[in-house]
Amino acid sequence: MRTLTSWLPISPDSDFSLHNLPYGVFHTGDGKARAGIAIGEHIVDLATAAEAGLFGKRRFFKKIFEQNTLNEFIALGKPVTNRVRQKVLTWLTQVAAPENAARLLVERRKATMLLPVRVGNYTDFYSSIEHATNVGKMFRPDNPLLPNWRWIPVGYHGRASSVVLSDTPIRRPWGQILLKDQETPVFSPSRQLDFELEMAFVIGKDSPLGTPIAVDKADEYIFGLVLFNDWSARDIQRWEYVPLGPFLGKNFGSSISPWIVPLEALKPFRVKGPKQQPAPLSYLQHGSKGGHNFDIALEVGIRGEGAGTETIVARSNSKYLYWSMAQQLAHHTVNGCNVCVGDLMASGTISGPQSGTYGSMLELSWGGKEPIRLNDGTTRTFLLDGDTVTMRGWAAKGGLRVGFGEVSGAVLKALD
Ligand code: MN
């Protein structure tokens, strides 16, 4: 990989390096949404860049980049989106600052981010074998990993309406809860509010109803990735999940990070996934030998209300996922189910093999039995009102860094 340099000062620690160039939607107080590409502490304003003729077809691209979501842009297809990415890279890597530099750049701290895509459908998988085994041990001690788990990339259809942008506060939900040793449920605010450390991919191409996406064609349909916090109410979930799976314990809020990292930026960080035993059915077998997982370091921090410092409670990595994104998408569509531009497919909680790598409070506190200690001296089994949960993710290798920024959210007390 050649080292890229820019006339624009970019810290080597920045998530938003020349190799990344993630897409987002923002405004600067005037309420006018625009698409942008993050670079270091700045954003390249794509609407203004289009007006300046950076991509040709000025009026066409200006209109595309003045939308309040990226859906129309993404739907143009990878040959176009990758050409835009290349034009921005060329503009940033000229020897000297171009004379339109000040006009095209916005300071990131002055921008308000918006939800980058209109999410039509959201699916959540359950692709970490460590997470599925840990949860299984707590919910069904005799039978932790169900017999279908190593055959099927298990998932459920979630709720797109409650996918929110990072920094949106999350209200503690009310629901039905069966308390210990009781036979009838109570109606109460959740006492076991949790986060789930996940990554999600954004669909970049429509597929026709009735036509499966082959596992080795899946990358054509994956536009990019974001960080994903699938807020969960464990007590509501435990009472409702049999017989039809997650429902109100999950659909009160899921948060995503504002910048979509394109799949192309993650190419240097592809790694092999865990060995799959037994070998999956043929429609789930990767034809190519290359890495189908991504080496993306992940961390979760909790800061209590009024506490000065955050405590990192978990460090994980997306490379632990048993089922790859390509296998998830092949399985999702094998029956002919179609996908649409902007659909969101989340991985499921990403836990690693050791206790510090677990991606939920449920696992970190082992069902509430082993409280964890924060830097401010307080302890947690599940989340308290006022807690802010922040997830970060980055890939780094030989001086290259491609990061996701963060997804953050604070817990609001339940409605009276
Ligand atoms: Mn989940």
CA 161 to each of CA 122, 410, 411: distance values in angstroms, whole numbers, following the listed order: 9, 19, 19
Contacts of 305 (CB under 8 A, 6+ apart): 384, 385, 386, 387
Q: Which pLDDT value is given to residue 104? A: 98
Q: What is the distance in A from the centroid of ligand 1 to the CA of 232?
A: 8
Q: Retrieve residue 294's tokens.
A: 């991504």
183 shares a domain with 326: yes
What's the pLDDT score for residue 17? 98
Q: Count how many domains the chain has.
A: 2
231 and 316 together in one domain: yes
**Do 216 and 340 reside in the same domain of the chain?**
yes
The pLDDT of residue 288 is: 81
Domain contains 8: no
> Among residues 35, 37, 13, 12, which one has the least CA distance to residue 25?
35
Residues 15, 21, 23, 25, Cα dihedral to 10°: 70
Q: Is there a single domain that holds both residue 42 and residue 137?
A: no
31 and 132 both lie in a single domain: no
196 within domain boundaries: yes
- The answer to the question of residue 3 being in a domain is no
User: Which residue type occupies 409?
Assistant: G
Q: What residue type is assigned to position 295 of the chain?
A: D
pLDDT in tens, the chain (416 residues): 567 899 999 999 999 999 999 999 999 999 899 999 999 999 999 999 999 999 999 999 999 999 999 999 999 999 999 999 999 999 999 999 999 999 999 999 999 999 999 999 999 999 999 999 999 998 888 888 999 999 999 999 999 999 999 999 999 999 999 999 999 999 999 999 999 999 999 999 999 999 999 999 999 999 999 999 999 999 999 999 999 999 999 999 999 999 999 999 999 999 999 999 999 999 999 998 789 999 999 999 999 998 789 999 999 999 999 999 999 999 999 999 999 999 999 999 999 999 899 999 999 999 999 999 999 999 999 999 999 999 999 999 998 999 999 999 999 999 99
Could you say which of 19, 27, 42, 131 is catalytic? 131
**The overall pTM is greater than 0.75:** yes
* Residue 241, domain CATH: 3.90.850.10
Q: Which long-range contacts (CB under 8 A, 24 or more apart) does 249-253 make?
A: 249/175, 250/124, 250/158, 250/159, 251/158, 251/159, 251/162, 252/162, 252/170, 252/171, 252/173, 253/162, 253/164, 253/168, 253/170, 253/171, 253/409
Q: 270, 292 in Cβ contact below 8 A?
A: yes
Residues 247 and 373 reside in one and the same domain: yes
Last residue of a domain, one of 81, 114, 147: 114
| 122 touches 160 (CB < 8 A) | yes
- C-beta of residue 345 within 8 angstroms of C-beta of residue 200: yes
- Our measurement of the distance from residue 198's CA atom to the centroid of its chain's CA atoms, rounded to an integer in Å, reads 6
d(Cα 397, Cα 223) in Å, to the nearest integer? 22
Q: Select from 114, 146, 162 the last residue of a domain.
A: 114
Co-location of 104 and 126 in the same domain: no
Alpha carbon of 111 to ligand 1 centroid (Å): 30
- Here the CATH number for the domain that contains residue 107 is 2.30.30.230
If you measure from the C-alpha of residue 57 to the centroid of ligand 1, how many angstroms do you get, rounded to a whole number? 42
Instruction: Report the number of secondary-structure helices (H) and strands (E) in the chain.
Output: 9, 26
**What is the rounded distance in angstroms from the CA atom of residue 394 to the CA atom of residue 316?**
11
Q: Is 13 contained in some domain?
A: no
What confidence score (pLDDT) does residue 78 get? 98
Q: Are residues 126 and 61 in the same domain?
A: no
Local structure of residue 280 (DSSP, 8 states): P
CA 102, 108, 111: angle at the middle one, nearest 5? 100
Same domain (yes/no): 49, 148: no
Q: What pLDDT does 1 receive?
A: 55
With CA atoms as reference, report the closest residue to 156 among 182, 122, 112.
Answer: 122
Of 75, 91, 114, the one marking the end of a domain is: 114
Q: How far is the CA of 349 from the centre of ligand 1 (A)?
A: 5
In a domain, 12, yes or no: no
> Could you tell me the distance, in angstroms and rounded to a whole number, from the CA of residue 77 to the centre of ligand 1?
29
User: Catalytic: 27?
Assistant: no
Q: What's the Rg (C-alpha) of the chain?
A: 22
Residue whose C-alpha is closest to residue 61's, from 78, 46, 77, 44:
46
Q: How far apart are CA 248 and CA 252, in angstroms?
A: 7
DSSP 386: T
Q: Tell me which residue range forms the domain holding 227.
A: 122-412
Q: Are residues 301 and 264 in the same domain?
A: yes
Q: How far is the CA of 303 from the centre of ligand 1 (A)?
A: 22
Distance 128 CA to ligand 1 centre (A): 10
